[in-house]
Amino acid sequence: MLTALTGVFGDRADAVTVAGRTASYEELLGAAGAVAADLAGVPVGAFAVTATASLETVAAVVGGLIAGVPCVPLPPDAGPSERGHILRDSGARLLEVDFARRAPAVTSASASAAASGSAFGSASASASVEDPALILYTSGTTGAPKGVVLSAAAITADLDALAAAWQWSAEDTLVHGLPLFHVHGLVLGVLGALRTGSRLVHTGRPTPEAYAAAAEAGGSLYFGVPTVWSRIAAAPQEAAALSRARLLVSGSAALPAPVFRDLERLTGHRPVERYGMTETLITVSGRAGGEVHPGAVGTPLAGIRTRIAAEPGAEIGELQLTGPTLFSGYLGRPEATAAAYTEDGWFRTGDIASVGEDGVHRIVGRASTDMIKSGGYRIGAGEIENALLDHPRVREAAVVGVPDADLGQRIVAFVVADGVTGAELTDFVAAHLSVHKRPREVRFIAAIPRNAMGKPQKRLLLEGRAG
Ligand code: MLC
Ligand code: AMP
């Protein structure tokens, strides 16, 4: 990985800015070198870092790549249960990063030299691009989050395909303010900038004001989840500043057509939408300079094949994929990994899609109501239900995603309980899980509707047909 990164490392003093602090490549590599040295000192299978939006997180991830040790980025707001689960499940050692501490031996020149020997530029001679580079925790429909193992080979294949699709180069300044513990903000938003050599401006939080200010300072390529874009579309003055940009990209959830049209009217840009998952990285996208349409996520990236598993006569069905960007498996869960694939080796996305005659893909929904997307965060209903059921007053709980103009979906918990308020239950969840997994609303009901098998009938709850 570092070979290609160092290929474009120059002597730019403002290579990476995160939440108002700027570093040159030299400084970043120095701090990353210190991380790599720490990792070499105490051999571990993986290391974790509290992934705040900071230069420290960037240095940690790059340091892991140099050392050939996979990084587990921890959501900084994760409650103790979630944090404990991730650390236990991954066996990762938690590392503190001090950006001021630098290993002078690792400069862009020496990293280039080291990198010429191996595709990873790794301190460990045996590291291969197929080895784990990142382990990202993500929710399934039930149970605790699983570790998605991503290799450097998958990451580089994805970033190179995206660079081609978006004409993304060292001429760009990438701007975003997304969290640094998911694919969007970390893989695309940090490693993508390093691999293409584009300057990175991370705005700390993805507010319309911060995105506009970065455009005035030369931002050219913008990333956001639909919630970010819809907030920008509601701020016409800030949106107008983005007319200076080259390309606006939306992903992680469906971009509503009215937001697409508002952005076009206010910025003069038709936003490019792309589709992906933690397990597959980004696989389908619109192209810079190509035709893009509201509601469409474009065509497969280089190397990706897709198919729709539809019932005979139907045009929509589950989107299935193969290609070089796929994950290496769920950490320590061979059965779950096997279950994610069809018998003939295609990855089952769980998303329902259609493909037009022109090859353009549209995502029309999710197969399971138990997978919620709120503000671009993927949230398993089961994990929140389990957290609620841990409360002594809660007898039954069913969590659903209700359509929401700002967040795409908002988390609503239906509970059977007495002697406890909704606010107390929300706080209870927040004490265990990440902030964005808190229910926005708790509705008390007499009983959860169930089918003959005892399975909650969530569609009835969504349709408001349960008392
Ligand atoms: C949130 N708040 C609550 C609450 N939930 N308060 C009470 N009860 C609840 N249930 C608080 C928040 O903590 C915050 O407080 C305030 O309310 C506003 O919250 P919000 O409406 O959620 O907005 P915000 O915090 O600004 O977050 C919106 C957002 C965020 C868009 C910035 O959702 C975000 O960063 N999303 C990106 C997710 C992402 O990167 N997904 C990519 C996954 S990878 P305070 O005090 O903090 O203001 C992937 C692959 C791919 O999907 O294809 O890309
Ligand atoms: P995550 O694992 O957090 O990356 O979430 C992946 C899920 O996000 C996918 O399975 C989709 O449901 C959803 N998703 C990502 N991009 C898009 C998009 N452009 N349109 C619709 N859904 C999307």
Tell me the domains of the chain and their CATH numbers.
3-205 (3.40.50.12780), 276-366 (2.30.38.10), 371-462 (3.30.300.30)
Residue 115 pLDDT > 70 = no
Nearest Cα residue to 379 out of 388, 394, 369, 390: 369
- For residue 123, pLDDT beyond 70: no
Ligand having the closest approach to the CA of 230: 1
Tokens standing for residue 55: 């230069």
Task: Give residue-wise pLDDT tens across range 336-386.
Answer: 999 999 999 999 999 999 999 999 999 999 989 999 999 999 999 999 999
Nearest to 373 by CA among 386, 362, 387, 363: 363
Q: Has residue 160 got a pLDDT over 50?
A: yes
For CA atoms 253, 254, 258, 264, the dihedral sign is positive
Measured between alpha carbons, how far is 261 from 332 in angstroms, rounded to an integer? 44
Q: How confident is the model at residue 119, as a pLDDT?
A: 30
* pLDDT at 57 exceeding the cut of 70: yes
Rounded to an integer, the average pLDDT of 302-311 is 96
Give the whole-angstrom CA distance, residue 50 versus residue 86: 11
Q: Which of 298, 321, 374, 314 is nearest to 139 (CA)?
A: 374
From 137-141, 260-264, 392-396, the region with the lowest mean pLDDT: 137-141
Given pLDDT bands bounded at 50, 70 and 90, which one contains residue 464? confident
> Tell me, what's the pLDDT at 5?
54
pLDDT score, position 3: 53
Distance of CA 186 from the midpoint of ligand 1 (Å): 16
In terms of C-beta distances under 8 Å and separation of at least 24 residues, what long-range contacts does 455-460 make, across chains too?
456/398, 458/369, 458/370, 458/381, 458/398, 458/400, 459/369
What's the average model confidence in pLDDT over 275-282?
Answer: 98
Average pLDDT over residues 154-173: 97
Indicate which residue's Cα is closest to atom 22 of ligand 2: 253
For residue 268, what pLDDT is reported?
98
Of 45-59, 73-87, 106-120, the poorest mean pLDDT is in 106-120
Computed on alpha carbons and rounded to an integer, the radius of gyration of the chain in Å comes to 22
Is 193 in contact with 219 (CB distance < 8 Å)? no
**Choice between 318 and 12, residue whose per-residue pLDDT is larger:** 318
pLDDT of the residue at 175: 98
Amino acid at 336: A
Residues in the ligand 1 pocket, defined by CB under 6 Å:
178-179, 182-185, 206, 225, 227-228, 251-252, 276-278, 375-377, 426, 435-436, 438-440
- The residue with greater pLDDT, 389 or 128, is 389
Atom of ligand 1 nearest to the CA of 231: 31
Residue 106 binned pLDDT confidence (cut-offs 50, 70, 90): low
pTM of the full predicted structure? 0.94
Mean pLDDT for 257-284 is 98
| Cα–ligand 1 centroid distance for 290 (angstroms) | 31
Is the distance from the beta carbon of residue 374 to the nearest atom of ligand 2 less than 6 Å? Answer: no
Residue 196 to residue 163: CA distance in whole angstroms? 7
452 C-alpha to center of ligand 2: Å?
32
Mean pLDDT of the chain: 92
**Is 205:92 a contact under the CB 8 Å cutoff?**
no
> In this structure, which ligand is nearest to the CA of 377?
1
Kindly tell me the sign of the dihedral angle through the C-alpha atoms of 368, 373, 377, 381.
negative
Ligand 2 atom nearest residue 350's Cα: 10
Residue 423 has pLDDT above 70, yes or no: yes
pLDDT-wise least confident of 125-134, 171-180, 217-226, 229-238: 125-134
**Contacts (Cβ under 8 Å, ≥6 apart) of 377:** 182, 436, 437
Kindly identify the ligand whose nearest atom is closest to the C-alpha of 436: 1
pLDDT class for 309, splitting at 50, 70, 90?
very high
Question: What's the pLDDT band for 125 if we cut at 50, 70, 90?
Answer: very low
Are 263 and 239 a contacting pair, CB within 8 Å?
A: yes
What's residue 120's pLDDT?
A: 31
